[in-house]
Amino acid sequence: MITQEVDINFDLPEIVTDPVPTYDLIRSAGRVVLNKRLGVWMVPGYEDVLTVLHTPAIFSNAAYGMGELPPILDGAEIMINADPPKHQPLRKVALNAFVRRSLRKMEDTIQQVVTDLLDDPALADPLAGGGEAELVNAYCRPLPAQVIARLLGVPLSDLPDFVRWSDDLSALMDSGQRGTPEHQLRWQRGADSGVEMKAYLTDQINRHRREEHDDLINDLLVANENGILDDKELLATCVLLMIAGNETTTKLIGTSLRLLGSNPDVRRSLVEDPSLMANAVEEILRYEGVTTIVPRNLTQDTTLAGVDLPAGSIVMALLGAANRDPEAFEDPNRFDISRHTSNRHVAFGHGIHLCLGNQLARMEARLALSAFLNRYPDYDLGDWQYRGVFLTRGLEYLKISVGR
């Protein structure tokens, strides 16, 4: 089969803001397409993406990008870059910790944080006075940061550093071209934040060793003492929970509020019937999921969709494109909260690397959106802008007003 090639810079602002035309371009080129700019193979179709995600022996997560991981991980195997058989005990440890917290207990915590943020003068006063409020920093960002900090058992007074470290480290996992000045600057910023975060989390872990606490770090320490996690894995897992528990949910809530702000009919439906919110969150995840790409490294020569791929190749499963695949979703570019197949999306990945905190993220989004619409059912969008990173799309800022 003739190799189909394209040349795409995913971090162009217009692509980050609206990637759908780019998804369509890739899909029209073929089921497996070479991006000459990055030297990687791209897979846009839903079924082919599932094949990649469900075949870790060939499409390896562990082998991808180890040289590009933040220095804070120090070579430790964590769930995000481990394949079987190492992956299962790591995932089981963290999953058991989440289960111990119980979703019901988490829901009470989230609801309290949501209420406090909506009552905070930083958000409430400008809107009450007919002015504008910026939601990313007043609402979307502090909510998941506070929730994961409470779950991990770290002081809320440390949240500003917590958020900064998370932002800098997550920005390292971008899809931009390696070696550019922008990437080098981003890398150095992430490395510096990694040093600070490592020192901070080491102190927190040592504090938990001295004093027993009822939180996630304590649960992970039990696994450490039982020989399931070594010290490096313990630290790296705390880093993963901090970043994943903060960054992705921040972006999901921000994108959701922008999307509902630009679809007033949908917003009114949710105000009139709050029971629709759970499926609305699933449709938002399908339509505007945060994570757009999952990279994998080929461990052996293989053939996918008739294209021969050599061992060592990087294959990018395009989650965003798969969620807009017309073969999987009827009229995929229509935002429809009554869609019965919305929950078939791959916004959280699939298979053994399905996002561990997916239920927590869903709950945070559902509660955050429901409470916001209950307080501000008729808000108007102001200016908004996406950050310049395609891999995990999220807003830099989102301004709204009420009653203008």
**Paired residues of 95 in beta bridges:** none
Select the more confidently predicted residue: 259 or 70. Answer: 259
When pLDDT is averaged across residues 150-172 and rounded to a whole number, the result is 85
pLDDT at 69: 52
- pTM comes to 0.88
pLDDT at 391: 86
Query: Which of 22-36, 85-99, 188-202 shows the lowest per-residue confidence on average (mean pLDDT)?
Result: 85-99
pLDDT at 268: 96
Tokens, residue 226: 């039982």
310 touches 32 (CB < 8 A):
no
Position 63 pLDDT exceeds 50? no
Model confidence pLDDT, tens digit, residues 275-320: 999 999 999 999 999 999 999 999 999 999 999 999 999 999 999 9
Highest averaged pLDDT of the listed ranges 77-81, 170-174, 214-218: 214-218
Tokens, residue 384: 């908004």
Query: Which of 117-121, 165-169, 198-202, 280-284 shows the lowest per-residue confidence on average (mean pLDDT)?
Result: 165-169
Q: Compute the C-alpha angle 298/251/127, nearest 5°.
A: 175
Model confidence pLDDT, tens digit, residues 186-204: 778 888 888 899 899 999 9
Domains present along the chain, CATH in parentheses = 4-402 (1.10.630.10)
Query: CA–CA separation, 87 vs 353, rounded Å?
Result: 9
Q: What is the torsional sign of CA 262, 273, 334, 395? A: positive
Return the biggest CA–CA distance within the chain.
63
- How sure is the predictor about 270, in pLDDT bands with cuts at 50, 70 and 90? very high
Tokens, residue 351: 């298979």
Nearest to 296 by CA among 45, 56, 11, 86: 56
- What percent of the chain is modeled with pLDDT above 90? 58
- How sure is the predictor about 181, in pLDDT bands with cuts at 50, 70 and 90? confident
Select the more confidently predicted residue: 138 or 390. Answer: 138
Position 86 pLDDT exceeds 70? no
Query: Which of 164-173, 245-254, 293-302, 362-371 shows the lowest per-residue confidence on average (mean pLDDT)?
Result: 164-173
When pLDDT is averaged across residues 262-279 and rounded to a whole number, the result is 97
- How sure is the predictor about 65, in pLDDT bands with cuts at 50, 70 and 90? very low
Element (H, E) at 35: strand 33-35
pLDDT at 91: 52
Q: Which long-range contacts (CB under 8 A, 24 or more apart) does 267-271 make?
A: 267/373, 267/377, 268/377, 269/337, 270/337, 270/369, 270/370, 270/373, 271/373, 271/374, 271/377
Query: CA–CA separation, 121 vs 138, rounded Å?
Result: 10
Nearest to 49 by CA among 347, 368, 287, 277: 347
Query: Which of 3-12, 133-142, 161-170, 266-275 shows the lowest per-residue confidence on average (mean pLDDT)?
Result: 161-170
Helices and strands: H and E segment counts in the chain: 17, 11
Mean pLDDT estimate for the chain: 86
pLDDT at 353: 58
- How sure is the predictor about 233, in pLDDT bands with cuts at 50, 70 and 90? confident
Select the more confidently predicted residue: 311 or 240. Answer: 311
Nearest to 365 by CA among 262, 265, 290: 290
Position 66 pLDDT exceeds 50? no
Tokens, residue 222: 């039990």
How many other CB atoms sit within 10 Å of the CB of residue 15? 20
Select the more confidently predicted residue: 77 or 276. Answer: 276
Position 351 pLDDT exceeds 60? yes
